[in-house]
Amino acid sequence: MKKLNTFFAGILLLLLSFYANAQTKKGVDYFEGKWKVSIPGTPLGDLKRLIILEKKDNGLSGVVKDDATGNEIAKISKVDIKDNEVTIYYHANDVDAVLVMTRKDDDHITGNILEAYPLEGTRVKD
Nearby residues of 56 by Cβ (< 8 Å), 6 or more positions away: none
Report if residue 4 sits inside a domain: no
Specify if 10 maps to a domain.
Answer: no
**58 within domain boundaries:** yes
Residue 68: domain span = 27-124
Contact call for residues 51 and 88 (beta carbons, < 8 A):
yes
Q: Can you give the pTM of this predicted structure?
A: 0.79
Question: What is the per-residue pLDDT for 20?
Answer: 45
DSSP 84: S
Q: What is the pLDDT of residue 18?
A: 54
**Could you report the per-residue pLDDT of 72-100, keeping only the tens digit for each?**
999 999 999 999 999 999 999 899 999 99
CA distances from 114 to 57, 71, 81, 118 (A): 27, 22, 17, 9
Output b/e per residue, 9-39; b: 16+ Cβ within 10 A. eeeeeeeeeeeeeeeeeebbebbbbbbebeb
87 falls within a domain: yes
Please check whether residue 14 lies inside any domain of the structure. no
Q: How many domains does the chain have?
A: 1
For residue 41, give the CATH number of its domain: 2.40.128.120
* Strands (DSSP E) found in 14-84: 33-42, 45-56, 59-66, 72-81
pLDDT tens figures, 32-63? 999 999 999 999 999 999 999 999 988 999 99
Say if CB 92 and CB 72 are below 8 A apart: no
